[in-house]
Amino acid sequence: MQELKKVEQTMLALNGDEAVAWAVKQSNVDVVAAYPITPQTIIVERISEFYHNGEIDIEFIKVESEHSALSASWGASIAGARAFTATAANGLALMWEILYIVASTRAPVVMAVVNRALSAPINIHNDHSDSMGARDAGWIQIYSEDAQEAYDNTIMAFRIAEEAMFPVMVTLDGFTISHTLQNVLVLPDEVVSEFVGERKVPRIKLPMIYGEKEIPLMLNPKYPVSFGPLDLYDYYFEHKVQQNEAMKASVPIIEKVHREFAEISGRSYEPVHFIPYRTEDADVILVGLSSTMSVVKKVVDELREEGKKVGAIRLRVFRPFPAEMLRKELSKFSAVGVLDRSLSFGGEGGPVFTEVRSAMYSAQSRPPIVDFVYGLGGRELPPKLIKKAFEDVLAMKEEPETPVIKYLGVRE
Amino acid sequence: MIEIVWHGRGGQGVWSGSAVLAYAAIKAGKYAQSFPQFGPERIGGPVTAYNRVDDKPIVERGPIYEPDIVIVIDPSLVKPRYRERITRGLKEGGTLLVNTTLEPGEVRREFNVPDSVKVWTVDATTIALEEIGRASPNTTMLGALIKATGLLDVQYLEQGILWRWPGEVGQKNINALKRALREVRGG
């Protein structure tokens, strides 16, 4: 990677969906199988245009459902292809069965999830219920803050997926990112091509009867292999524990890929798993995901002007969850608020909150933590409500007796 | 940073207009955003779109609550009952640009706009019908916008229009934009 260094990039006007499609175009993808669903549709439309204009050399598989989209992507991936698909909301829900199959056969499929609320009632707007529901399925999850990051994350996802042997979900907020046209710096085709390289396939040793030989682990009529055969109580448990260990072992790979990407693009997402903002001397902070955190940063600036010691932490990698790193980081604050854009019905707080608070239980110093559930079904979170959240968290410094879960911007 | 809110109805090209503006600003070396506020997507339904334009990278995201410029692309919205929706948050010293056959003074009275706000009007529907052959007033409004505010050089808007509508359709839209430069009234 040394010789790649920072290169001349082109400033384009793209929305988040188009930025993802551009990344796919440049990433030596072999197979795209996808089914349109708002607000992801533009991704599939642009890839379809690239395909029909001869700008991308892929097998473009038109399928009749998302279940088939992911099934086809899986088949392609275990046959040694680099496969991409994209979906949102109910489409992701329909992929449910195959999510686990892709992950548990360690197939490095990359999928863009354009976050949208789940039915019923039908709602096309942004929240994180869809990808949060899939958090236990064994996919690496990276949440993007804007269209530029959606582009960057998609390119990095192919490397991470293939080196860690895990599927990667890159998420972007419906409409707020997917349909927002903005400045996006695009790397030259050959630089991305060299960065992602050819599809990496793990190699295995053949049994003795075939001779001392190594072959790529993929579907191949010459050396037949099975993916996901019967595995009962004798070994299933061990395999699941190994899968969990392997997910944790992807952490250094995720970091390495980000650092190499920063070298060619000049865009660093250090320290990768989450990004602190004005936390050095902060008393209290808000932790959250995705595009909302842009607005939170603006509010932090405003409150700092008023002399309030506030900061923010934007989580990027939600799976594997950076518990250890976050524990160290959060211990130094007097109080912490978590922003959750999804609910866990009947649970004690949203998914980000339960994860963060669980991580903090074993910390030496445990700040009080409150969950702010917001933005379900695309409900706006204007700066004045973020200010109110900060005020609530600041008040917790003195008086931690507070409800664990609060709703921001809901009618009472 | 300049923040713009567009008001219109589905089918009038509100989102395309804001996209062309953002594209043009980015081509001019600036930073920009364009995004729609979608309700149920249907022809005739109310549509809002937003633009942000700045010389430095834009951190803000999501809806604009205090615009510098409000563009009303649908003449049927020039009624006192839409006053709150149209003028909400419009900054002191801001600009209100309206597609209407009315004079700026009449719009000012209709919406009870304070003196500090500059009001501009243009009959964009007629211009669009004559130049493009259909009632798509978005590009005409862009011409009026740059005359009223000097936000961007016209060449970048022309590039933006040809990006969105290559060929003859784009050229007709450019003609409409140039007519608006001459015919917009106000200040």
Mean per-residue pLDDT over chain A, rounded: 96
pLDDT of residue A249: 98
**A237 DSSP assignment:** H
A window 258-297, beta carbon within 8 A of B = 291-292, 294-295, 297
- Poorest-confidence range of A2-11, A75-84, A139-148, B79-88? A2-11
Tokens read off for B59: 């951190």
Q: What is the CATH number of the domain that holds A340?
A: 3.40.50.920
Amino acid (1-letter code) at residue A91: G
Domain that holds residue A258: 10-199+251-265
Determine contact: A124 vs chain B, CB below 8 A: yes
Residue A365 located in a structural domain? yes
The average pLDDT across A333-345 equals: 97
Determine contact: A344 vs chain B, CB below 8 A: no
Residue A142 located in a structural domain? yes
- Walk me through the domains of chain B, giving residue ranges and CATH numbers: 2-186 (3.40.920.10)
Size of interface A-B (CB pairs under 8 A): 59
The average pLDDT across A209-214 equals: 83
Residue A219 located in a structural domain? no
Determine contact: A122 vs chain B, CB below 8 A: no
Q: For residue A353, give the 3-state DSSP assignment.
A: helix
How far is residue A31's CA from residue A61's CA, in Å, rounded to a whole number?
Answer: 7
Sign of CA dihedral A169, A174, A177, A178: positive
pLDDT of residue B39: 64
Helices (DSSP H) in A189-250: which residue ranges?
189-196, 236-248
How far is residue A160's CA from residue B108's CA, in Å, rounded to a whole number?
Answer: 58
At how many degrees (to 10) do helices B124-131 and B138-149 cross?
Answer: 120
How far is residue A292's CA from residue A308's CA, in Å, rounded to a whole number?
Answer: 20
pLDDT of residue A209: 82
| Banded pLDDT at A35 (limits 50, 70, 90) | very high
Together in a domain, A148 and A192:
yes
Together in a domain, A283 and A164:
no
pLDDT per residue as tens digits for the range A322-334: 999 999 999 999 9
Q: Please give the helix or strand (H or E) that residue A405 lies within, else none.
A: strand A405-408
Residue A209 located in a structural domain? no
Interface contact flag, B26 A124, Cβ < 8 Å: no
Domain termination residue (choose one: A237, A265, A293): A265
Residue A4 located in a structural domain? no
pLDDT of residue A5: 55
Determine contact: A12 vs chain B, CB below 8 A: yes
Interface contact flag, A180 B57, Cβ < 8 Å: no
Interface contact flag, A180 B60, Cβ < 8 Å: no
| Banded pLDDT at A2 (limits 50, 70, 90) | very low
Burial class (CB in 10 A: 0-12, 13-18, 19+), A200: middle
How far is residue A249's CA from residue A296's CA, in Å, rounded to a whole number?
Answer: 32
pLDDT per residue as tens digits for the range B39-52: 656 677 788 999 99
Together in a domain, A255 and A334:
no
Q: Please tell me which residue of chain B has the smallest CA distance to A122.
A: B40
Together in a domain, A258 and A326:
no
Interface contact flag, A298 B60, Cβ < 8 Å: yes
pLDDT per residue as tens digits for the range A372-409: 999 999 999 999 999 999 999 999 988 876 788 999 99
pLDDT per residue as tens digits for the range A226-241: 999 999 999 999 999 9
| CA nearest to A218, candidates A344, A80, A343 | A80
pLDDT of residue B187: 75
Determine contact: B65 vs chain A, CB below 8 A: yes
Together in a domain, A255 and A299:
no
The average pLDDT across A244-266 equals: 98
Together in a domain, A258 and A135:
yes
pLDDT per residue as tens digits for the range A64-91: 999 999 999 999 999 999 999 999 999 9
Residue A65 located in a structural domain? yes
Interface contact flag, B32 A298, Cβ < 8 Å: no
Mean per-residue pLDDT over chain B, rounded: 95
pLDDT per residue as tens digits for the range B98-157: 999 999 999 999 999 999 999 999 999 999 999 999 999 999 999 999 999 999 999 999
Interface contact flag, B62 A381, Cβ < 8 Å: yes
Q: Please tell me which residue of chain A has the smallest CA distance to B34.
A: A181
Residue A246 located in a structural domain? no
Determine contact: A41 vs chain B, CB below 8 A: no
Triad A304, A307, A309: Cα angle to 5°: 65
Q: Is the pLDDT reported for residue A28 higher than 60? A: yes
Residue A63 located in a structural domain? yes
Interface contact flag, B58 A182, Cβ < 8 Å: yes
Number of domains composing chain A: 2
Which of B23, B59, B60 lies closest to A13 in CB terms?
B23
pLDDT of residue A401: 67
- Poorest-confidence range of A1-5, A109-113, A186-190, B181-185? A1-5
Together in a domain, A47 and A109:
yes
Determine contact: B22 vs chain A, CB below 8 A: yes
pLDDT per residue as tens digits for the range A261-313: 999 999 999 999 999 999 999 999 999 999 999 999 999 999 999 999 999 99
Together in a domain, A259 and A330:
no
Q: For residue A292, give the 3-state DSSP assignment.
A: helix
pLDDT of residue A6: 67
Contacts of A64 (CB under 8 A, 6+ apart): A35
pLDDT of residue A378: 96
Together in a domain, A184 and A293:
no
Together in a domain, A255 and A282:
no
pLDDT of residue A1: 39
Q: Please tell me which residue of chain A has the smallest CA distance to B49.
A: A180
Together in a domain, A127 and A168:
yes
Determine contact: B63 vs chain A, CB below 8 A: yes
Together in a domain, A43 and A177:
yes
Determine contact: B167 vs chain A, CB below 8 A: no
Domain termination residue (choose one: A208, A242, A265): A265
Q: What is the CATH number of the domain that holds A61?
A: 3.40.50.970
pLDDT per residue as tens digits for the range A181-194: 999 999 999 999 99
The average pLDDT across A333-356 equals: 97
| A chain contacts of residue B35, beta-carbon cutoff 8 Å | 15, 175-176, 179-181
Determine contact: A382 vs chain B, CB below 8 A: yes
The average pLDDT across A136-141 equals: 98
The beta strand positions in B38-89, using DSSP E, are 46-54, 69-72
The average pLDDT across A17-29 equals: 98
Contacts of B35 (CB under 8 A, 6+ apart): A15, A175, A176, A179, A180, A181, B18, B49, B50
Determine contact: B56 vs chain A, CB below 8 A: no
